Structure 1
Amino acid sequence: MMCNRYNPGERQLILDVIPANGNGAQYNANPDRVHPKEVGPVVRLVDGEMVLERMTWGFPVTLKGSKGQPLAPKPVNNARFDKLGAFWKRWAIDPGNRCLIPTAHFAEAIGPKGKMTEAWLSVPDQPIFAWAGLWSNEDWGLSYTGVMTDNCIEFADIHDRSPVILDPEHWHTWLTAPLADLYQFDRPYPAERMAVERTDIPWVKRKAPGQGPLL
């Protein structure tokens, strides 16, 4: 499974790192973890200004069934880079539908099936890094999805894909450039710039009788 939980970091830290207008995101704190269908912070351009907003993680994408019938929309929280020019083109081709997802750490499941645990990855020299994303304001209101690329070979045991991590000098390019110029970011982020914390925390926590699902 690709990334489906991450820690966005504190609101003020995000604003300290990313020069965005946070007036439209007046809230006390970000959650420690964001899961699909939950709300997280997103930075996008509005009239040329970077603005911090809150949106729901997961695009309402309508797929087709075995007989070609449209199925009920489902939240899709990750977009493969190699499909930006195909499945995701209607959003990716328009710079106005691109965003930065502030991230302090993201998680992946490691270990054998049924015994998977959490591994948390970060970029030590960036307390908040920008994960490349797309956003939309359609059926479910404001929503976003994170763009994924190949993982570095050093982390192949964790997952074969990883979030597209943009260094600060590339933020403007992601938010404004033609789609053809974005493919320079379709590459693994250097392992030597990342840190991994492998934990014994179960990826799927068991729930008590009568309790809702836990992640």
Structure 2
Amino acid sequence: MCNLYRMTAGVDEMKRLFGSFEGDRANVAALDEIYPKYAAPVLRQGEAGLVLEEMEWGFPGPKAAGGRPVTNVRNLSSPFWRSALATPERRCLVPVRRFSEWSAKPDPATGRKVKHWFGLPPEEGRDRLFAFAGLWRPGEERPYYAFLTCAPNDMVGAVHPKAMPVMLDADDHAQWLSGSVEEACALVRPYPDHKMTQFA
């Protein structure tokens, strides 16, 4: 389960990747470490196009499960996610620079698990921006979001063998946001190893 990522891109860089959107601000805060229950920028479909909105990471969990926030969407056939997945307006793009998975075993020297960061190969000395495939829902105080996970590729699986986030290329954005359920679910697949990098 991914429970940590980084998003440090400003509005101008987001527009270069995602196109124009509403909700423009002078800039967004750089977030080096985003954990569950933190607020972060998310792009959702509005009436006239994309809308940039700050949302809280993690859907409020079922009371039967203790109410803990649900941050990762794993079982797409679950009734908990089915209606949001079937409604294109409830799909979203989660901008990301890097995401982290923790080592399975602690470092022998420190006794602590180690963060392993993944993303796209840098360009011009800077991490590249990309997006996770996400779902969102309204809330009383602010909206909530979670992002989809899938089986890991070899690179991520060597650290975290259970799952990795669903990473989208720019060409996938429209299909994820407005495609049928079948078209959206076709994007739930491990990201190609050769298009990623693991940071030291």
What TM-score, normalized to structure 1? 0.80
- Per-residue deviation, residues 55-91 of structure 1 (Å, max 9, x unmatched): 11111021426xxxxx4x22111111xx222231021
1:60 and 1:139 in contact (8 A); partners too? no
Structure 1 regions of 5+ residues with no counterpart? 66-70, 199-215
Any idea what SS the aligned residue of 1:88 has? helix
- CA root-mean-square deviation: 2.0
Q: 2:105 aligns with which of 106, 112, 137?
A: 112
Aligned to 2:10: 11
Residue aligning to 2:33: 33
Shift of 1:18: 1.6
Match of 2:166 among 153, 164, 167: 164
Question: Equivalent residue of 2:53, what SS?
Answer: strand
Would you say the 8 A contact 2:94–2:133 is kept in 1? yes
Query: Secondary structure of 1:37's partner?
Result: coil
Structure 2 segments unaligned to the other structure (5+ residues): none
- What is the aligned-residue identity percentage? 29
Q: Flag the structure with larger Rg.
A: 1
Alignment of 1:47-196 (within 5 A): 47-64=47-64, 71=66, 73-80=67-74, 83-86=75-78, 87-113=80-106, 114-124=111-121, 127-138=128-139, 141-160=142-161, 161-196=163-198
Q: Distance in 1 between matches of 2:29 and 2:140?
A: 27
Q: As a proportion of its length, which structure holds more strand?
A: 1
Give the deviation of 1:111 after TM superposition.
4.5
- Is this contact kept in 2: 1:30–1:40, CA < 8 A? no
Instruction: Give the distance between the partners of 1:20 and 1:158, measured in 2 at CA.
Output: 36
Deviation at 1:121, TM superposition (A): 0.3
C-alpha distance in structure 1 between counterparts of 2:183 and 2:190, whole Å: 17
Q: Hey, what's the Cα distance between the residues in 2 that align with 1:140 and 1:37?
A: 13
AA of the residue aligned to 2:9? E
2:17 touches 2:170 (CA, 8 Å); kept in 1?
no
| Aligned equivalents of 1:163, 1:97: Cα separation in 2 | 18
Aligned to 1:204: none
Aligned length: 189
1:9, CA displacement in angstroms?
A: 2.3
- What per-residue deviation string (whole Å, max 9, x for no partner) do you get for residues 88-115 of structure 1? 1021111111000000100110141452
